[in-house]
Structure 1
Amino acid sequence: MQVQVVDYTAEDAPQKFVQSLRETGFGVLVNHPIQQALVESIYKNWYEFFSTEEKNDFAFDPEKQDGYFAPEISETAKGHSKKDIKEYYHVYPWGRIPAQLNDEILSYYKLASDLAAELLDWVEKHSPADVAEHYSEALSNMIKDTPNTLLRVLHYPPLTGDEEPGAIRAAAHEDINLLTILPAANEPGLQVQGKDGEWMDVPADFGNLIINIGDMLQEASNGYFPSTSHRVINPTGKGSDKSRISLPLFLHPRSEVKLSERHTQESYLLERLRELGVK
C-alpha cells in the first residue's frame, strides 16, 4: 500500500486521508490551506539564521526545551548509537524566538495548528466506534489551548564527506506526538517503512503537505492508528552539497490529557525524552 495523495478540497478527502493514515501511518494533502509562498519564505529566512552565529545566542534550555540545538547535541534516535546529521530550533509561542523571525513563524504555527485540529476531527469521525469510545475527549479538544505543540525548524547541512560512518540525516524513528504536520521539504529524502519492512519514498513534491501519526495517537487508539518508522536518508550526487530545511509541527495535547489507562501526555513525553537522551 502506497501513501495516498489526497485533494484536501475533495468531498471524500476525510475518508481517503484517514484510510491512508490507518494503512501506512502517513497521508499527503494537496490543495490545502497553507500557502507555499509562506513556507518558502520561512525556509529562506531560517536558512539565513542557521548560517549566522546569532543562533548560538539562543542555545536550548534543558528544562523548557526551547531554542537552538547544535549538531553536537542533536538527537540520537531510539535504538541507534549515532547522532543525526542536523541542527534545529524549537519554536513555542511562549518561547524565545529571534525578533526578525517572530511574526512570520508564529503566523505559520497558528495556521498549521488550526488545520491540524480539523484533521484530528477527520480522524475521530472515521475511527471505528470501539476505538473512538476510548478517546478521553474529542481529539481536536486535546490540543485546545495546549502550550505543548512544538514547531521544529530543521536544518540538514550539506554533506562534507567527514560524517561519522553510518550516520544519516535522521535515523529511523517514530514521532512522539498525536499528528505531525510537515510541508514537503526543499530537498527529497523522507522515507516510511511499510508493513513488509521495505522503505518507500513519501510523495514529497514541493507544495505537498505530509501528515503522519505519532505514538500518542497510537496510544490513544490502542494501536488502531500505527505510528510508523520513518527516516531522512542522505542525498547522493549533486544533492549532497545542498542544505535541507524542514518544518515539522508536532501536535501535542495539554499535559493533563489522558491518552490511555497507562499515560497522560506528560508521563508519555517524559518517558520518551529520557529514551532520546535529551531530558
Structure 2
Amino acid sequence: MTTPTINPVSFKRFEGDFAGFSQDLGGSFARYGFAVISDHPLPQARIEAAIGAAKAFFALPDEVKRAYVVGVGGQRGYTPFGIETAKGAEHFDLKEFWHMGRDLPAGHPFAAYMPKNVWPAEVPAFHTEIAWLFNALDAMGRKVLEALAAYLKLDRHFFDSTVDQGNSILRLLHYPPIPADGPNIRAGAHEDINVITLLLGAEEAGLEVLERDGQWLAINPPAGSLVCNIGDMLQRLTNQVLPSTTHRVVNPAPERRGFSRYSTPFFLHFNPDYEIRTLPGCVTPEHPDRGLAPITADEFLKERLREIRLL
C-alpha cells in the first residue's frame, strides 16, 4: 500500500488560476485537514530575520525570559517550558513559546478581548521583525480564506469581515534538545482551536497528522513552503466539511536530539463577537446537521483554553 502524501499547491496559481487553486487547496483540506502551499510570497530573508530574533530571545537566561510572563492565559508574552499540555494528555509538552497578538488603537471595542503586546527589551530587533511576521501571515491567511470561500461556493470575500479584527496569535516556538527518552513529546496529539493555522519553519522533522485509518502521516514540506491546517472553529462552521485534524510533533531521531526545533505558527481567529453558526450549504447527506448551538468565537476560545491549562 502506498503512503499518502500531501501534494504542494503553488501560490503562483492564486492570480493565474484562482478557480483551480481554490479547488486543489480546498480538496487537500477536505481530505487531510492540512495543505502545503509552495511558492508563497513572503521574503525568505525577512522570515529568517524574524526567526533569528526569536532564537535570540529563547537563548536568554531563564530568569530574564520569565520576566515576560504576563497573566492573560498565555495569550501574550512568554510561556515557560513545561506549562502547556495537550487536551486529555497526562504529560506536558516539551516546548516554550512567545505570543504576539493584534495591536489595537486606544479605545478599540475589542480591547477587552485582546491584551496589549509586550516586547523583550533585550532583543532590539524583536519588535520590528516579529510584528512584520504577524502582519505578513495575517494577510496570507486572508488569501487562504478567500480560496476556501470559493471552494465552499460562498462569496469569495465571505470571510473578510469575519477576521479583519480577529483575535489572532503568532506563536514563536522553541523545542529544546531532547536529552533522553521519556514520556513527554514535543507537542502532544491535539487539534487547533482557531480558524486556520499557517506554519513556517516546519522543515525540521517531527510534524505528523493522524490519518483516517489511524496511522500517523509525516509532513515533510519542501523548503520555503507554508503548511496550513483547519482549526476547530472552521470545522464547526463548515459542519466538518473541512476537518480539524489531530496532529502532533514527535521527538527527533537520536542523531537530531541535540538540536532545537523552531517554528512560527500563526493562529488566525475570527473576530471575538463573530457567531459560529453552521453554514447551511455545508449540511448535506454526507454531512448531516450535527445540531450544534451557535457560539461566539470568544466563548469558544475561552472554553478550549481552559481545557489545555492556559486559562
Both proteins in one fold, TM over 0.5: yes
Which consecutive aligned stretches of 4+ in structure 1 deviate over 6 angstroms post-superposition?
A: none
Give, in angstroms, the shift of residue 237 of structure 1: 2.2
Aligned to 2:280: none
Query: Which residue identity is paired with 2:5?
Result: Q
* Candidates 159, 162, 166, aligned match of 1:139: 159
Distance 2:295 2:37 in 1: 31
Give, in angstroms, the shift of residue 211 of structure 1: 0.3
* Candidates 148, 169, 181, aligned match of 1:150: 169
Determine if the alignment matches structure 1 residue 49 to structure 2 residue 57. yes
How many equivalent residue pairs? 269
Query: Which residue identity is paired with 1:39?
Result: I
Query: Which residue identity is paired with 2:31?
Result: E
Distance 2:203 2:60 in 1: 20
Distance 2:252 2:73 in 1: 34
Aligned to 1:78: 87
Distance 2:147 2:227 in 1: 15
Aligned to 2:118: 96
Aligned to 1:278: 310
Determine if the alignment matches structure 1 residue 87 to structure 2 residue 109. no
* Candidates 124, 135, 139, aligned match of 1:110: 135
Q: Secondary structure at the match of 2:295?
A: coil
Give, in angstroms, the shift of residue 64 of structure 1: 6.8
Residues 181-216 of structure 1: CA deviation (Å, up to 9, x unaligned): 111335211111111111111132321100000000
Among all aligned residue pairs of Structure 1 and Structure 2, give the percentage whose two residues are the same amino acid: 34
* Candidates 5, 8, 11, aligned match of 1:2: 5
Q: Please say which structure displays the higher CA radius of gyration.
A: 2
Give, in angstroms, the shift of residue 219 of structure 1: 0.7
Q: Secondary structure at the match of 2:257?
A: helix
Give, in angstroms, the shift of residue 159 of structure 1: 0.8
Given that residues 179 and 250 in structure 1 are in contact (C-alpha distance below 8 angstroms), is that contact kept between their aligned partners in structure 2?
yes
Aligned to 2:285: none
Aligned to 1:62: 72
Q: Secondary structure at the match of 1:71?
A: coil
Q: For the structure 1 residues 152 and 205, does the alpha-carbon distance in structure 2 shift closer, same or farther, using more than 3 Å as the test?
A: same
* Candidates 135, 148, 153, aligned match of 1:123: 148
Determine if the alignment matches structure 1 residue 183 to structure 2 residue 200. yes
TM-score (norm 1): 0.91
Given that residues 4 and 16 in structure 1 are in contact (C-alpha distance below 8 angstroms), is that contact kept between their aligned partners in structure 2?
no
Determine if the alignment matches structure 1 residue 263 to structure 2 residue 295. yes
Q: Secondary structure at the match of 2:82?
A: helix
Distance 2:66 2:299 in 1: 30
* Candidates 145, 149, 172, aligned match of 2:189: 172
CA RMSD, Structure 1 to Structure 2 (Å): 1.7
Q: Secondary structure at the match of 1:15?
A: helix
Distance 1:155 1:64 in 2: 15
Q: Secondary structure at the match of 1:242?
A: coil
Distance 1:193 1:64 in 2: 27
Given that residues 5 and 203 in structure 1 are in contact (C-alpha distance below 8 angstroms), is that contact kept between their aligned partners in structure 2?
no
Distance 1:266 1:167 in 2: 30
Aligned to 2:36: 28
Distance 1:277 1:191 in 2: 23
Determine if the alignment matches structure 1 residue 16 to structure 2 residue 48. no
Give, in angstroms, the shift of residue 234 of structure 1: 0.3
Given that residues 66 and 90 in structure 1 are in contact (C-alpha distance below 8 angstroms), is that contact kept between their aligned partners in structure 2?
yes
Q: Secondary structure at the match of 2:275?
A: coil
Specify every segment of 5 or more residues in structure 2 that has no aligned partner in the other structure, as ranges.
104-115, 278-292
TM-score (norm 2): 0.82
Residues 23-60 of structure 1: CA deviation (Å, up to 9, x unaligned): 00000011111122222222222112111123222113
Distance 1:71 1:229 in 2: 22
Given that residues 100 and 171 in structure 2 are in contact (C-alpha distance below 8 angstroms), is that contact kept between their aligned partners in structure 1?
yes
Specify every segment of 5 or more residues in structure 1 that has no aligned partner in the other structure, as ranges.
none
Distance 2:203 2:65 in 1: 21
Distance 1:60 1:9 in 2: 40
Give, in angstroms, the shift of residue 277 of structure 1: 1.4
